[in-house]
Amino acid sequence: MYSRKSPLPYKMRDVVLPGDAACPGCPIPIAWKVLGAVFGEKMILVIPACCSSVVVGPYPYSSIKASVVHVAFASAAAVASGIAEALERRGITDVYVVAWAGDGGTADIGMASLSGAAERNHNIIYIMYDNEAYMNTGIQRSSATPYGAWTTTTPIIGKTEHKKDVAKIMIAHGIPYVATASIGYPHDLYAKLERAKSIHGFKFIHLHAPCPVGWRFDPRYTIKVAKLAVETGMWILYEYYDGKLRISGPSKPFIDSKRRKPIEEYLKLQGRFRKITPEKVEEIRKYVDENWRWVKLLS
Amino acid sequence: MSRMVVLTGNHAVAYAAKLARVDIVAAYPITPQTSIVEKIAELIESGDMDAVMINVESEHSALAVCYGSAIAGARVLTATSSHGLLYMHEWVHWAARARIPLVMAVTTRTIGTPWNIWPDHSDFMDQRDAGWIMGFAADNQEVLDMVIQGFKISEDPRVYLPVMIGLEGFILGHTATPVELPGQKIIDEWLGPRRQGFLVDGREPVAIGNLAWPEDTEEIFMDLQKSMREALTVIQEVDREYSKIVGREYGGSVQCIRCSDAKYLAVSMGAWSGDLIEAINNLREEGYPVGVLRIRFYRPFPHSEVWKYSRGVKGVIVFDRAISFGAWGQIYTDLVASMHIYTSKLPFITDVIAGIGGVNITYSDFYELVKNFIDRIERDEEPPRFTWYHKRR
C-alpha cells in the first residue's frame, strides 16, 4: 500500500551511477533511481529509440548497472516479451524485464507491439515515461502531447487535439495491472513498481515525466511541475487491478474539484503554453473534468 | 534413426526446427509461409515438439520477439515472406548488426504492388545488404538440411550471425516430395547446446546496442565483414561435417553439376535449378560442354568457389529471378565483381532476368536459352549482356 512515510531504500544509487548524459532537470534518472531501488541489478531494461537511449551514455560505457537492451523504435514491448519468454523457459524467475519507452515509442510507433504483447499477457513491466512529445529529436508533437501545447511541429497555433490516454487503452486490454504514476511522487511509484513486481503477466505503468527542455521551464522546477500536474488534477494517479480502479494517495485530495489548484498554475510555469488562449484553457478544463468523471466511474 | 517421409518445403522447415530443438518460435502468418507456422503450432500443441509458440501481431514484432528470446539464451526460429519480410526489414538489419544467432526461413514471393502471391527472389534479394548469412535451397530435402545447417553456422563463434534460408513459395513451399528426416540423436550430438557471444539474462549487467561513436560503429561493422569471410570457411566445414552424419553433401556455398570439364557455365539459385540441370544434361548428351553452378549461399558471396569453377571458361550465363531496377540481376552483378577480383579478362557473361512475378520458366526455356548462348559464342557472335526473358501464358 502507498505510504507517505516509508523511506525509499538507499540502494538506488547502486544501479543508477553518476555521470549519465541527461539534460539538467531531466526526469529520467529520477525515475530510474526508483526502479533501481525496486529491482536492483536484477533488471533488464528494454529501451527503444528515445531520450533514454542517449541518457545511459555512449559505448563502451553505461550509467546503469543493470542489463540494458537497446531496440528499434517500435519494438520495446516485443523484445521484452521475447526476453521474458526465454527467461521463463530457462527457469530464471528472479530477473525482471522492464520495457522503458517514451510516449512516442508507446502511444505512436510502438502502439501495435504494445497492444500485441499486452494481449498475449507476457510477464513484463512496461513503463511509458511520458514527456509529452518527441524530445530526443527536438520537441515534435506526439499523440500524447496535451491540447494547446507548443511543439516544433505545432509551432504557431499549438496542438489541436487532446492527449491520447494510453492507460485507458491498456485497461481495455484486460491486463492484470495498469497504473499511472508521476516522477514527482517517488514513494507512490515505488509502491506501484513493488506491486507490479508481485504480479505475473503484463503490467503497464504510465509515468508522467515533465521535461524542462521541451516544456520550456527552468530545470529546477521538474518536481514542482510534476506535482502541479497532480495538484491541478491534470494528471490523476491511480492503479487498476482486479477489475477496480483505485485512486492513489497523492491524487485522493483532488477527487473533490474544489481542492484542486487552478490549472493556470500548472500551465503558466511552462513556456509551451505561453500563447494559450482563455478558450483553450477552458477546453483543457473540460478535458480534466471528463477524466475525473471517468476515473470516479471506475473506482 | 532416420526415416523417409513426404513433406512440403514448408513442413520441412517445421521438422527441421523440431530436430534443431528450437525453444521459441515467433511468427506472423503470410502467404505462402503460413503452413510453416501452422505445422509448428500443431507439433507443439500435439506434444511432439517441446517449444513455445508466440503468435505475434506483426512480422516486425516476430523478429523483435525472436531477438529478445535469442539474446536471453533461447534457440529461435521465425519464418516469413514478401511483404512480411519487408515489414520486418528494420529488424533484419538490427539482428545481424547485433551478431545474434537465429534462423529465419523465407518462403519467397514477389513484392507488390500489384498484389501477386507467386514466387520470385525479389523479397529475399532485398535483404542482401543486411549482414545475414543467406542460403537458398533447391529442393525440400535441402530445405530441411539447410535449416539444420543454418543453426550450426549461425552459432559458430567465428560467425555469430543470423541465417536466412530461402525456398520458393508454392514450388517448394507447397509441393510435397520424399524427405529423409535424420534421427534426433545424431542431430542433438552434432548441433549441441545453443551458443552465442554473450547472454542478456540478468545474471550480470550487460548493455547491448548503446549509442556508439562513428569509429566504434565502423569497427563493429568491419568485424561483421570479417566474420562474413570466416563464414565462407564455416559453411564448407558444416556441409562436410553434416554429410558425415547424414550422408548428403551439397558442396558448401555452391553446388557444381558437370562443371569440372565445362567450357560454359550456367549459374542459378533456388528451385528452378532443377529444370536447368535437366536442360544441361540433355545439352551434354548433344555434346555441349556445359555445367551448372548453383549458388547455395548467396551471402557471403562465394567468390573463390565461383572463380574455382569459372576460371578458363568461355562463357557464363546467369539466371536471376530478381532485379535491381535500373541495374541488373543481383547474382550477375556479384558474379562479375567477384570474377574481377581474380582476372581483368572476363569471359562472355550474360544476365538473364526471368521468372519475375512468378512467371513459369521450364526445362525447355532453359534449354533454348543456354543452347542459343553457346551457339552464338561458337559462331563468334557477341551475345547480349542482358536479357529480360519474358513470356506470356
Closest Cα in chain A to B25? A82
Output the pLDDT for position B101: 98
Q: How confident is the model over A131-164, as pLDDT tens digits?
A: 999 999 999 999 999 999 999 999 999 999 999 9
Check residue A8 and give its pLDDT: 64
For A83-102, the pLDDT digits (tens) are 999 999 999 999 999 999 99
CB A298 within 8 A of CB A241: no
Band the pLDDT of A4: cuts 50, 70, 90: low
Query: What would the mean pLDDT of A275-281 be, rounded to a whole number?
Result: 97
Percentage of chain A exceeding pLDDT 70: 97
Digit-coded pLDDT (tens) for B236-260:
999 999 999 999 999 999 999 999 8
Instruction: Fill in the DSSP letter of residue A221.
Output: G
Which residues does residue B295 pair with via DSSP β-bridges, in sequence order?
B254
**Domain-embedded: residue A239:** yes
Fold of B254-388: Rossmann fold (3.40.50)
If one counts the domains in chain A, the total is 1
Predicted local confidence at residue A7, as pLDDT: 59
Query: Is A143 part of a structural domain of the chain?
Result: yes
Question: Does residue A6 lie within any of the structural domains?
Answer: no
Are B94 and A71 a contacting pair at CB < 8 A? Answer: yes
B3-246 with B254-388: one CATH topology?
Answer: yes
How high is the pLDDT of residue A265?
98
What average pLDDT does range A189-212 have in this prediction?
A: 98
CB B157 within 8 A of CB B197: yes
Instruction: Check residue B169 and give its pLDDT.
Output: 98
Mean pLDDT of B107-121: 97
ipTM of the complex in this document: 0.96
Which residues of chain A does B98 touch, with a Cβ-Cβ cutoff of 8 Å?
none
For residue A3, pLDDT over 70 is answered with no
Span of A8-12, B17-21, B327-331, B339-343 with lowest mean pLDDT: A8-12
Beta carbons of B200 and A42 less than 8 Å apart: no
Confidence of residue A37 (pLDDT cuts 50, 70, 90): very high
Q: Grid coordinates standing for B380?
A: 563468334
Q: How confident is the model at residue A1 (pLDDT cuts 50, 70, 90)?
A: very low
Residue A142 placed within a domain: yes
pLDDT score for A18 = 87
A64 to chain B: which residues are within 8 Å by CB?
A: 205, 207
Q: Is A74 a member of any domain?
A: yes
Structural domain contains residue A3? no
Range of the domain at A92: 12-298
Closest by Cβ to A72, choosing from B52, B94, B208: B94
CA B337 to chain centroid, in Å, comes to 20
**pLDDT cut 90: percent of chain A above it:** 94
Q: Which residue of B has its CA nearest to A95?
A: B202
pLDDT value, residue A10:
64
Residues of chain B in contact with residue A53, where contact means CB-CB under 8 angstroms, are 210-211
> pLDDT grade, residue B324 (50/70/90)?
very high
Rounded to an integer, the average pLDDT of B132-161 is 98
Please check whether residue A84 lies inside any domain of the structure: yes
What's the rounded mean pLDDT across residues A2-25? 77
Among A269-273, B164-168, B197-201, B369-373, the range scoring the smallest mean pLDDT is: B197-201
Q: Report residue B393's pLDDT band, with 50, 70 and 90 as the boundaries.
A: confident
CATH topology of domain B3-246: Rossmann fold (3.40.50)
Closest CA to B40 of B73, B17, B72, B58: B17
CATH at A86 = 3.40.50.970
- Give the residue-averaged pLDDT of B19-47: 98
pLDDT reported for residue A14: 86
pLDDT at B123 over 60: yes
Q: Is A46 on the interface with B (CB under 8 A)?
A: yes
Query: Which of A58, A94, A95 is nearest residue B212 as measured by Cβ atoms?
Result: A58
Q: What is the mean pLDDT of residues B294-315?
A: 97
Mean pLDDT rounded to a whole number for chain B: 97
Domain ranges in chain B are 3-246, 254-388
**pLDDT of amino acid A13:** 78
Of chain B residues 88-147, which have a CB less than 8 A from chain A?
A: 90-91, 94
Compute the mean pLDDT over every residue in chain A, rounded to the nearest whole number: 95
Q: Band of the pLDDT at B202, cuts 50, 70, 90?
A: very high
